[in-house]
Structure 1
Amino acid sequence: MEEVLLSQIAAEEESASLLRGFCTDAENEAESILEKADAFCLEETGKWNSRCEDVEFRKVELDIESVIVDNVRLSLNDTLEGSVEQEMKEKEMLRKKKEHLSEELEELLALVKAKEKEIEENDSQIKAVEERINSVVSGYKELQTSMDKMFSDLQAGLSQVDTETEDLSRKKKDVDEFVASEKERGVKLRELVSVSADEANEYEEVIKLRETLMSYVSKTREERAKLVSIEEKLSEEVQRLQEEVSSTRESLKEQSSRKSIIQQNITSFMDKIMFIEKRMPELEAEKKVAASTRNFKEAGRIAAELKSLNLEKDKIQIETGQANAELEKAEQEIEETIKRLQELEGLIFSKEKELSVSRFQRLRIDSGTAKAERSAALELSDLEEANLLLEEAQEAESEAEKLKLTCGLKEEEDGEDEAKECFVSMELIATFGLKKLQELAESVPS
């Protein structure tokens, strides 16, 4: 499970790193898009302003030319009227004169022939005047036509300028829409960057919490492994001490047996000495009797026996002294063996006490760990696993309580601090989200 959790943390770290990279790339892309949009907008705005200025300038020029042409056209009309006014007056005068002459012709039939010539001349003059008028009018009409054409061209130019102005307006609208679109895209990218950054921060916070909780769980596991190692070491020491006690007891038995043999030998030696000491006066008396009866052979035999008994007594006394020395040595060895046996039993008691404390603390850790794993199983709706873990926790607690009562552990020895520790399941560390991980981390002592 720890390897899976480490793999998960590595994957989350990679995700956070990728999100950070994506944030950086997206931010750079957004900056690039906005910079390009601003540059494009600035460039297009410059072009648009330049073209607008050109169009406005051309429009002003055309307006001025149009006004000038219109004024010239009106002036030409006025000039035409002024130019033919004299001829028109002259024509009117000649017409009146013709009427007058006609009247005179009617009145003066006699003067018809004379006046016909004058009338013909007058008609000729009228015709010449009309031709001059027509010539002037024709010239002015051509000029008027030219002015009208120029005015029409100017109006067409103004229409084209208006069309170009509309095109420029549409172009500016397109540029504005493009810039707005790019800015909106940049804003969305920045929003995405913000969301990605938040997700990356959340991943980093989750990774930090998981690593913290894993470190706490690892410490608990290390503590348990340490306690197991201490248990094994203490068990080995207790077993070794018990074997040494057994060996020492066997040695004590052998020493006691040897002491008993030595004591028996000393008793035997004392009995022999007492027998010799009792026998020697008797032999002395027998020797005296034999000597008094001049039984020298018997007296010699008795003397030899006395000598033999003395030698045997000396030998027995020497052996008794040696036996007493051996007895004293054996008693000293027995005393040392008993002392060593007591020391070993004290060490065994101390080591067994340490072993009980270590085992009790390990059982409390096992119980707490099983309860934490049971909570994880319940969280994941695995009731079968939860029941098995509950049995395991209860079994560990029961064994711990029995051990506490059997060994008479005190509060400072029974690991109450460890019992109050908060135990965390690797399964929950792997499956919980940020909020629950924060709650879980708050419940863990720092």
Structure 2
Amino acid sequence: MAMKEEDDIDSLFEGMVLFTPSSQLAEEAGDENLFSDLTLNSQTLEETHQSDHTILITSSNTSRRKKRASSSLRIGYGRGESTDDHDRSVSSSSSSSNLYDDDNNNNRSIYQSPYSSSTPNPMHEFEVAKSQISHKLNLARQLAKSVSGARKDSMARRRKAAEDVHVASLKLSHLEKQLDDACESEDFEAAETISQSLASAEKEKQASLVALRDTESLCDAFHSDMIQAIHSQIAAEDHSASLLHQLATDALCDAELVLKKAQALSSQHMDSWFSSSEALEAKKMEFQIHSHLVNDALNQLHDSIDHAIQDDIHHKDSLCKRKDMLNDELHRLIDLVKEKEKEIAENDSEIQAVEERIARVVSGFRETQSTINTKYDDLQSALSQLELESKTLAEKKKEIDNLLTEEEDRGAKLRELARISSDEATTYQKVVGLRRSLMSSIIKSTEDKARLAKTEELLSEDVHRLKQEVCATRASLQELSSTKSSIQQNIETLKQRIFFIDKRVPELEAEKKVAAAARYFKEAARIAAEAKSLSVEKNGVQIEMDKAVLELKELEEEIKDTVNRLQETDGLILSIEKEVAMARFQRLHLIAGSAKAERSAALELGDLEEANILFAEAEAAESEARKLPPDYNLKEEEFSNLPKRFISIDLIANLGLKELADLAASVHLSAI
């Protein structure tokens, strides 16, 4: 068979030359060595990027680097070539497969995640941070809860002290009324006793006031501690927000890094995979070509065998037919048995000779067929091995895809972690803003109450001092009045004495004249001396009366000045008392509002007993506040700047974001 070459230069079989036995050789019978020297030569050229004249195995992905593999296969059938070449070819193919397997084994370790167990786990860091945040916030909340409990206890003690002051005030008022009644009824002994009880009651009231101030100071201290505890909670939440923002930023950075590394590693692995896949496809194509050509050779061998023994088989068939015919003739011609038996024996001998020739030819072909079958089986085994390697590459491709998918999922989880951290940080920031805003209202209310209490205290001290001055002035006025009465009585006495003297002196002058006329000279001398003495006395009494009148005039001026000063002081006291009432009214308004807010918080927290106490406290403060405007002529417009809504400090410490936002909205505040 002549050499056949494809016209197409890009054909897969370019450079492949097929040699087959000639038809003449196929017609030779009994050649045992025919096709015994079947040779399969394979040459794999070295991979190159510049060759344009070899068979190319290319990847369909033009975006990746391409490697071209060229191979030339030459299968020849002919005499004179050793079968060792075929053995070397098959051995070379097996060696190539083994080397390929070694490369795969060496590269198997690269299809693993680039992140070892020692790599920091952002999710673990997030959970640790959340645990630390929860621990710090729990500590802050426990501190606020503890301070809140102590604050409530101090408020209860303050209420008890205030009740003691109220009782002492009622007792003092009752004793003062009894004293006034005793004085009016001029029961001075009872007044003395009541006065002593009044002094004792005043001491009790002062002691109660001191205790009240101490409890109020303690309440203020615990209130300050509560504010500080909430500030600590705000600081913890603010720190939590910062930490979560940082975790979110780090998680986003890690997500980007994970994706970049995964994509780079996947690209690297895919390049390696494509190279291995291309090499495997080239080997598969090579072995498929080998298998195809060997199969063709096997088919042609069968055709050659059939062609070589075809005449003998026809000859055998004709002889067999002739034997049958002769047997028939044997039956018909019994008489010719011996002769025909002889002919049959000769025919059998010829048949045996032909069968022996056929057997020899077939035997020769069977050895070649067995060799070809062995080579074909080897090729099929190699192809099966290549199929396994192809499956291995497919699994590796799946591993690469799974790795990329896992890393993409990891990146998505990191982005989700960043989103969760950012959302929680934003929530903490909002909570911090709302708590600060609400706390500013609490702090302002506290400062206002402290300022009003201090103002009330200072003004009350001024009123007390002025009332003491009034008492002292009234006592002085009383003394001046008593002195004035004494002086007036003295002047009246002096006037009566002068009147007596003025009346007596003329009488004595008349009696002296009578005595002188009667010549009672001793009597006349006595009367004259008495008259003279009365005249002298009159002059002294007149001088004393003039002095008393002058003193009385000065005393009346002093009394007038004292009365004017007393009236001015009383007016000042009324003015200051009005200021005290204004400060007290505002403070009571704040107390009542705070008590109502605390009552609402107690109801919300389920503390009904505390809610009832706070309700009574708010009612008492409002009741006291309602008495002040009519008593001191206070106008509503004077208190237009008083807050209308109040907030419980316990709610600020315990509420979450939504409740804090609702609370801030109810009092028209916004987060700062």
Q: TM > 0.5 between the two?
A: yes
Residue 644 of structure 2 corresponds to residue 421 of structure 1: yes
Q: Is the 8 A contact 1:70 1:151 kept in 2?
A: no
Does structure 1 residue 189 correspond to structure 2 residue 414?
yes
Query: CA separation in 2, counterparts of 1:263 and 1:434?
Result: 83
Give the CA deviation at 1:341.
Answer: 0.6
Distance 1:64 1:146 in 2: 18
- Residue type of the alignment partner of 2:609: E
Matches within 5 A, 1:345-364: 345-364=570-589
Match of 2:425 in 1: 200
Instruction: Give the superposition deviation at 1:270.
Output: 4.2
CA distance in 2, matches of 1:56, 1:311: 165
* Distance in 1 (alpha carbons) for counterparts of 2:576 and 2:412: 72
What is the aligned length?
381
Q: Residue 399 of structure 1: CA displacement?
A: 2.5
Distance 1:273 1:201 in 2: 104
CA separation in 2, counterparts of 1:377 and 1:64?
89
Give the superposition deviation at 1:411: 1.6
Task: Quote the sequence identity (%).
Answer: 49
Q: Aligned partner of 2:647: which letter?
A: V
**Greater RCO, CA 8 A, separation 6+:** 1
Report the alpha carbon displacement of residue 192 of structure 1 after superposing the two structures with TM.
2.1
TM alignment of 1:125-144, pairs within 5 A = none
1:303-345: per-residue Cα shift (whole Å, max 9, x none)? 9888876765555554444333322221111111000110111
Cα distance in 2 for partners of 1:36, 1:367 equals 65
Q: Does 1:256 align with 2:455?
A: no
Counterpart position of 2:659 = 436
2:393 alignment partner, one of 157, 168, 180: 168
User: 1:63-78 alignment to 2 at 5 Å?
Assistant: 66=290, 70=293
Residues 383-402 of structure 1: CA distance to partner in whole angstroms, max 9, x if unpaired? 23222222222222222223
Q: Contact between 2:494 and 2:542, CA under 8 Å: does it hold in 1?
A: yes
Alpha-carbon contact 2:288-2:383 (below 8 Å) kept: no
1:17–1:316 CA distance, 2 compared to 1 (3 A): same
| Structure 1 range deviating more: 44-53 or 306-315 | 306-315
Maintained 8 Å contact 2:287/2:382: no
Match of 1:266 among 491, 496, 512: 491
- Using the TM superposition, give the Cα deviation of residue 268 of structure 1 relative to its aligned residue in structure 2, in angstroms: 4.0
> Following the alignment from structure 2 to structure 1, what is the Cα–Cα distance between the partners of residues 546 and 263?
123
**SS in structure 2 at match of 1:423:** coil
Which amino acid counterpart does residue 433 of structure 1 have in structure 2?
Answer: G
Tell me, what secondary structure is at the counterpart of 1:409? Answer: coil
Counterparts of 1:8-47 in structure 2 under 5 Å? 8-47=233-272
Contact 1:422–1:445 at 8 Å: present in 2 too? no
> 1:367-378, aligned counterparts within 5 Å?
367-378=592-603
**Per-residue Cα deviation, 1:98-134 (whole angstroms, up to 9, x for no partner):** xxxxxxxxxxxxxxxxxxxxxxxxxxxxxxxxxxxx9
| Aligned counterparts of 1:46 and 1:52: Cα–Cα separation in 2 | 10
Bigger shift: 33-42 or 252-261? 33-42
> Which whole-Å deviations, capped at 9, do the CAs of 1:360-409 have from their partners, x for residues lacking one?
22222222222222222222232232222222222222222233344443
Measure, in 2, the Cα distance between the counterparts of 1:296 and 1:54.
184
C-alpha contact 1:227 1:362 (8 A) present in aligned 2: yes
* Cα distance in 2, alignment partners of residues 409 and 277 from structure 1: 65
Q: Secondary structure at the residue paired with 2:637?
A: coil
Map 1:314-353 onto structure 2 (within 5 A): 315-353=540-578
What is the rounded CA distance, in whole Å, between the counterparts of 1:221 and 1:292 in structure 2? 103
* Separation in structure 1 between the aligned mates of residue 249 and residue 232 of structure 2, nearest angstrom: 25
After superposition, the Cα gap between the structure-2 partners of 1:159 and 1:64, relative to the gap in structure 1 and judged at 3 Å, is: closer
The aligned residue for residue 209 of structure 1 is 434
Q: Which amino acid aligns with 1:22?
A: L
For the pair shown, the structure with the greater C-alpha radius of gyration is 1
Cα distance per residue 1:245-268 (max 9 Å; x no partner): 111110001111222223333344
Specify the SS of the correspondent of 2:636: coil
Segment drifting more, 361-370 vs 12-21:
12-21
Residue 654 of structure 2 aligns with an amino acid whose one-letter code is: T
Task: Give the conservation status (yes or no) of the 8 Å contact 2:589–2:621.
Answer: yes
Alpha-carbon distance between aligned partners in 1 of 2:646 and 2:394, rounded to the nearest angstrom: 72
Hey, what's the Cα distance between the residues in 2 that align with 1:307 and 1:49? Answer: 161
Q: Secondary structure at the match of 1:412?
A: helix
Cα distance between partner residues in 2 of 1:352 and 1:442: 38
TM-score when normalising by structure 1: 0.70
Secondary structure at 2:611's aligned position in 1? helix
1:57-68 to 2 correspondences below 5 Å: 62=286, 66=290
The aligned amino acid for 2:478 is: K
Q: Which whole-Å CA distance do the structure 1 matches of 2:661 and 2:282 have between them?
A: 71
Map 1:288-307 to 2 at 5 A: none
| Aligned pairs (5 A) from 1:116-127 | none
**Equivalent of 1:380, from 586, 596, 605?**
605
Structure 1 position 174, deviation (Å)? 0.3
Counterparts of 1:371 and 1:283 in 2: how far apart (Å)? Answer: 93
* Structure with higher helix content: 1
2:471 alignment partner in structure 1: 246
Aligned-partner residue type, residue 405 of structure 2: A
In the TM superposition, what is the alpha-carbon distance from 1:286 to its structure 2 partner? 8.8
**Counterpart for residue 395 of structure 1:** 620
Please report how far the alpha carbon of residue 190 of structure 1 lies from its aligned counterpart in structure 2 after TM superposition: 1.1
For residues 76-105 of structure 1, give each alpha carbon's deviation from its aligned partner in whole angstroms, at most 9, with x where no partner exists.
x99xx9xxxxxxxxxxxxxxxxxxxxxxxx
The amino acid that maps onto 1:429 is I
Moved more, 188-197 or 5-14: 5-14
